[in-house]
Amino acid sequence: MTGIFPAVQLTRCFPEAHGFVLLDPARLDQHLGANSTGRDLLELFSTTEAGDTVTRAGIALPLTGVTAGYYTVLVRHAVDRSPWSTAAVSSPGWILGSVTGSLLLCGLGHLRHWTPDHSEHRRVAVPPGWYEIEVRAHPHAEGSDDGTYEFVLTPTPTQPAFRADPTRQLAIL
């Protein structure tokens, strides 16, 4: 199977503004224009249709309603097995496209003054292309302070249809 990549486990991830976002910064810049650095994207995405647009277009995947604490975040290919038992909460149908193969995970609060190269952002390398994603949540998973979130990526040859429920809460604590 093409597009297989090694799982990446990120530890001690903090959900600034009660959430995380997984995105390809190059696609975000393409969508917003080169002048996105320094802008308050959190306000833009939460008070206008721009947030729904970037989510449904597979530019950014927001994970909202996360209780404050430190989490382990696992980004893995769907063929890899989860190291944890059945998820307490799952949310399928998300999509994400990457032109560079470099995904970025950060707390939502980092969108208040968007700086793509911020030192606290976490990077994950995947093959460029389209992915359908299921988000899974595990409370108090082994190896995590407060819990674990998994982004399970399934490569697709073209942009998949967005089928997720953006109102689904994934809080686990």
Asked if 154 and 120 count as a contact pair (C-beta separation under 8 A), the reply is no
At 16, list the tokens. Answer: 């600034």
pLDDT for 173: 67
pLDDT for 33: 81
1 pLDDT band, cuts 50/70/90, is very low
Gap between the Cα atoms of 71 and 13, Å rounded = 5
Give the predicted TM-score (pTM) of the model: 0.93
Query: CA distances (Å), 135 to each of 31, 43, 92, 98, 138, in order?
Result: 24, 24, 6, 17, 10
At 102, list the tokens. Answer: 């470099």
pLDDT tens by residue, 118-132: 999 999 999 999 999
Average pLDDT value for the chain: 91
Residue 171 confidence (pLDDT) above 50: yes
Gap between the Cα atoms of 103 and 101, Å rounded = 6
Domains of the chain are 8-156 (2.60.34.30)
> Comparing 144 with 64, which gets the higher pLDDT?
64
